[in-house]
Amino acid sequence: MNTKPELLVTASSLEELYRLAEAGADAFLIGEERYGMRLSGEFKVEDIAQAVNYAHEHGKRIYVAVNNLMTNELLEDLPEYIKQLTTLQVDGIEFGDPAIVALAREHAPGIALHWNAEMTSTNAVTANYWGRKGATRAVLARELNMDEITGMIGKLEVEAQVQVHGMTNIYHSKRRLVGSYMQHQGRPVDGNDLGLQRGLFLIEAERRDETFPIYEDTNGTHIMSSEDVCILEDLHLLMEAGVQSFKIEGILKSITYNETAVRMFRQAIDQYAQDPEQYEFDESWMDEIRRIQDPERELSFGFFYKEQVF
């Protein structure tokens, strides 16, 4: 597998997108809250158009998140939205809901579909199932470990995307959990004030040193991991296995932070591509990331080296 894997990152704004492009990102995941989930910022259709123009001029790709759990109401607007995205020539859309497969077939044939069912994208048979339904890529669950991921690549008939850095979503409810709690305490708050920017987090009674970001938006309540995954040290294992796309999740991080993460992963990917045999992980890449890491959030291997039971 000698093709260079793609370095994909989220962007909260056009400004961030330009900066991360300069830092070395190949592709961007953007979108709007109405159709996509847990985006780091809002890109309306006009913004997506600008992003696509910029990206295509610079040899980069734009993927749009249309991965919400869709309701009947959203179905009314989705055909138009998907058609617009096709017209804009976005490079792919991420989906989780089968409704999108049916809608894309009808309204946007030919658009690249990336299957992303979050924590439930867990095996090759299912990924290939969606492949036969039109998906070209599977976004693997972050709860899979290294052996499962590397073992899966050979069985996949679609590309694999793996998150290599950043936080992950660990719980999503349609309920307004923070707003409800505050109201229960007799101190109601404006629901608009409980979003990403507010910096809310939970601490579980017996795990005082782990902070779990929590926020609300129109899609409900989202709880995020207390750690930031970073598999930079062992990225070569994923490159060896032939993973086609590495994702850096930039939600709830500053542009400067994401820039650094992109630069470090860029170096690793480039060096490996130059000569896999001679490739060596450089500890200074990690140091760069550690230097800007929020001290209240641990950098971890996520589930890459965990054995889970059930």
Partner 1 sequence: MSTTEKPKYYGKRHRLAKPELLAPAGNLEKLKFAIHYGADAVYIGGQKYGLRSNADNFSFEEMREGVEFANRYGAKVFVATNIYAHDEDIAGLEEYLCKLEEVGISAVIVADPAIIETALRCAPGLEVHLSTQQSTLNWQAVKFWKEEGLPRVVLGRETSFAEIAEIKKHVDVEIEAFIHGAMCSSFSGRCVLSNHFTDRDSNRGGCCQSCRWKYDLFEDARSEQEWVSEEDAADQQMLQSFSLGVNQKPLYEEQDSAFSMGSKDLCMLEHIPDLIEVGVDSFKIEGRMKSIHYVATVVNAYRQAIDSYMADPENYVLKPEWLEDINKAANRPLNTGFFYDTPDHEDHIYEAEEKAVPYDFAGLVLDYDEATGIATVQQRNHFKPGQEIEFFGPNQMFFKQTVGQLWDENGNELDAARHPLQKVKMKVDHPVRYFDMMRKNNTKQSKSAVKTAVTV
Cα 146 from Cα 162, distance rounded (Å): 10
Taking the least distance from each CB to partner 1, the nearer of 77 and 270 is 77
Q: Are 162 and 149 in contact (CB under 8 A)?
A: yes
Cα 245 from Cα 276, distance rounded (Å): 17
Cα 230 from Cα 261, distance rounded (Å): 9
- Cβ neighbours of residue 118 closer than 8 Å, sequence gap 6 or more: 37, 67, 96, 141, 169, 172
Binds partner 1 (CB under 8 A): choice among 13, 123, 136, 267 = 123
Cα 119 from Cα 98, distance rounded (Å): 16
Q: Is position 243 an interface residue for partner 1 (rule: CB under 8 A)?
A: no
In the complex, minimum distance from the CB of residue 42 to partner 1, in angstroms, rounded to a whole number? 18
Taking the least distance from each CB to partner 1, the nearer of 48 and 177 is 177
Please list every residue from 133 through 152 that binds partner 1, using CB under 8 A. 141, 143-144, 148, 151-152
Binds partner 1 (CB under 8 A): choice among 44, 155, 274, 276 = 155
Please list every residue from 175 through 234 that binds partner 1, using CB under 8 A. 175-185, 198-205, 207, 209, 211-212, 214, 220, 223, 225-226
User: Helix, strand or coil for residue 16?
Assistant: helix
Sole window of 25-33, 85-93, 119-127, 259-267 interacting with partner 1 (rule: CB under 8 A): 119-127
Taking the least distance from each CB to partner 1, the nearer of 39 and 51 is 39
Sole window of 24-32, 44-52, 91-99, 235-243 interacting with partner 1 (rule: CB under 8 A): 91-99
Taking the least distance from each CB to partner 1, the nearer of 148 and 217 is 148
- Cβ neighbours of residue 66 closer than 8 Å, sequence gap 6 or more: 31, 35, 36, 78, 81, 82, 85, 93, 94, 95, 100
Q: Is position 292 an interface residue for partner 1 (rule: CB under 8 A)?
A: yes
Cα 310 from Cα 304, distance rounded (Å): 17
Binds partner 1 (CB under 8 A): choice among 13, 50, 86, 122 = 122
Q: Is position 126 an interface residue for partner 1 (rule: CB under 8 A)?
A: yes
Binds partner 1 (CB under 8 A): choice among 83, 172, 263, 266 = 172
Cα 266 from Cα 212, distance rounded (Å): 28
Q: Is position 236 an interface residue for partner 1 (rule: CB under 8 A)?
A: no
Taking the least distance from each CB to partner 1, the nearer of 45 and 170 is 170
Please list every residue from 248 through 287 that binds partner 1, using CB under 8 A. 254
Q: Is position 57 an interface residue for partner 1 (rule: CB under 8 A)?
A: no
Residue 169, phi then psi, degrees to nearest 5? -80, 135
Q: Are 265 and 248 in contact (CB under 8 A)?
A: yes
Q: Is position 74 an interface residue for partner 1 (rule: CB under 8 A)?
A: yes
